[in-house]
């Protein structure tokens, strides 16, 4: 399952709830075609990695998070492990390698 985060408060709560689990967040917008293409495979990842938390943030709804992480282009994927941010690749295979190395 993929959770949807729409504010800084929801984001902070999710990271706190996650504890030491890996959290993967896809920043996207409904109007973004590359985001739609990425979603086709991103939406399959929770089944492959049930011990990882997957979330999505619509950049049109969460401007506070866009500003905090200085997101200038989408799609944009960030990983968080123990509260530490790790930039991820938008490439499926590279992202899977990074998830494997961090989980």
Catalytic residue among 32, 57, 62, 66: 32
32 is catalytic: yes
Q: Three-state SS across 53-79?
A: EEEEEECCCCHHHHHHCCCCCCCEEEE
Catalytic residue among 35, 45, 74, 99: 35
Query: How far lies 62's CA from each of 10, 18, 20, 48, in Å?
Result: 10, 20, 24, 27
35 is catalytic: yes
Distance, CA of 84 to CA of 61 (rounded, Å): 23
- Residues assigned a catalytic role: 32, 35
């Amino acid at each position: 399952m993929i959770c949807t985060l729409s504010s800084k408060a929801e984001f902070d709560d999710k990271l706190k709830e996650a504890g030491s689990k890996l959290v993967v967040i896809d920043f996207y917008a409904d109007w973004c075609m590359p985001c739609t293409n990425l979603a086709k495979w991103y939406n399959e990842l929770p089944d492959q990695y049930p011990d990882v938390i997957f979330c999505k943030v619509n950049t049109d709804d969460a401007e506070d998070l866009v500003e905090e992480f200085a997101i200038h282009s989408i799609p944009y994927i960030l990983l968080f492990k123990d509260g530490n941010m790790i930039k991820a690749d938008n490439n499926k295979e590279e992202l899977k390698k990074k998830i494997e190395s961090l989980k």
